[in-house]
Structure 1
Amino acid sequence: MRHTPTSLAFHVLAVVWFGIMAGFFGTYSFNVNFATLQMDGATYAIVQSSLNRNVRHSLFFVFFFLPPLWCVLAVALDWQRRGWCLLLSVAALLYLGGIIFLTREVNLPLNAYTESWNPDALPADWEQTRRAWGQANMWRSVASATAFVLSVLALALRGHGTPARVN
């Protein structure tokens, strides 16, 4: 049984989107976060607030929110397949929990808190907040990289023509 071309296209979109987001979070964690650790509090408050404000645009939201949708569409259009469907589903769930949920529950509240700071009168917990944000972003890096790897493995399994489920 052949794979549906539309399902394959959605799967490829998922791989590309996961890869872009893994690159985004990885670059941020291993470059930007380490750079901000070298900043004094006032500079950190200004820079982090600016970064948070400037990432809020439609292109980022498209890449941030669509990977799980591409996975759902790929699986829904070729659901009778074993192996790759499970891996791609796990990638989508990992992304939903490790990126979208974590962002909503941890990073966004910390962003709002950081943006409320007066750089000339920082709260006593500013360094703790910086560490917490960096740790949460590192988890997002791990989750997005893992989702990317799972989606690539699913694509490889798909290429090996895993047999359809026999009922």
Structure 2
Amino acid sequence: MFTFSNSISVFTLLVTALMAGLFYSYSFSVNPGLAPLDDKSYLLAMQSINRAILNPIFFICFFGSVALLPLNAYLGYEGNITLKFSFLALAAAFYIIGLFGITILYNVPLNESLGAFKIEGSSAEQLSDMRKAFEGPWNRWHSIRTGAVIISFILLAIGSVLPKST
């Protein structure tokens, strides 16, 4: 029987999988693809990507997981701490702290700093300095949040197939 709880579980799996895939693919295609660009081209590309990603589908998945993961864990709670609930709660924690928290605290401020930077008219030294200030820290935080969302999805997937009474 397909219940409200099952519907939440499926939708939670979907939006979390989409986020894991987005961050994974970014780590293994976009970042390596941008790395060899000259400073000006890299900064222009990142500014363009940062603008493009702010769209309704991204927001539904990004914020949807923030709401759905704890709800999914709550719906898996049976009055005591079970293995299923533990996996679902840990999935929520990894996503909220490791992806959402890092994004808000570190990647978004770096994106905003880059967005405010006027590329046209900047000297080669200014472009180089901005890239150094942005690329290394952004990629480090991105790697951590990518790992966190993948772990979150794995925990969610395992928790979703465990019977309630475990």
TM-score, scaled to structure 1: 0.86
AA of the residue aligned to 2:136: R
Select the residue among 68, 71, 80 that pairs with 1:70. 68
Secondary structure of residue in 2 paired with 1:12: helix
1:17-36 map, 5 Å: 17-36=15-34
Runs of 4+ in structure 1 over 6 Å off? none
RMSD, aligned α-carbons: 1.9
Q: How does 1:69-108 map to 2 (within 5 A)?
A: 69-80=67-78, 82-108=82-108
| 2:155 pairs with one of 132, 150, 153 | 150
User: Does the Cα contact within 8 Å between 2:95 and 2:149 map onto a contact in 1?
Assistant: yes
Query: Identity of counterpart residues, as a percentage?
Result: 25
Amino acid at match of 2:4: T
Mapped partners of 1:148, 1:40: distance in 2: 35
Write the deviation string for residues 57-79 of structure 1: whole angstroms up to 9, x where unpaired: 11110000111322222333342
DSSP 3-state at the match of 1:162: coil
Compared with structure 1, are the counterparts of its residues 37 and 78 closer, same or farther at alpha carbon in structure 2 (3 Å cutoff)? closer
Decide whether the 8 Å contact of 2:76 with 2:84 is kept in 1.
no
Post-superposition Cα deviations, 1:13-51, rounded to whole Å, max 9, x if no partner, equal: 111111110000001111111111111110011100000
Structure 1 residue 97: deviation in Å?
0.7
Q: CA-to-partner distance for each residue in 1:72-117, whole Å, 9 max, x for gaps?
A: 2233334207211111111111101111110111111110111122
Distance 2:153 2:75 in 1: 20
Equivalent residue number for residue 49 of structure 2? 51
The structure richer in helix per residue is 2
Q: Measure, in 2, the Cα distance between the counterparts of 1:78 and 1:42.
A: 49
Shift in Å, 1:9: 1.8
Deviation at 1:118, TM superposition (A): 2.8
Matched, 1:162 2:165: yes
Is the CA contact (8 Å cut-off) linking 2:107 and 2:141 kept in structure 1? yes
Per the TM alignment, residue 5 of structure 1 is displaced from its structure 2 partner at its CA by: 2.0
TM-score by length of 2: 0.87
- Structure 2 unmatched runs, 5+: none
Aligned-partner Cα distance in 2 for 1:69–1:18? 11
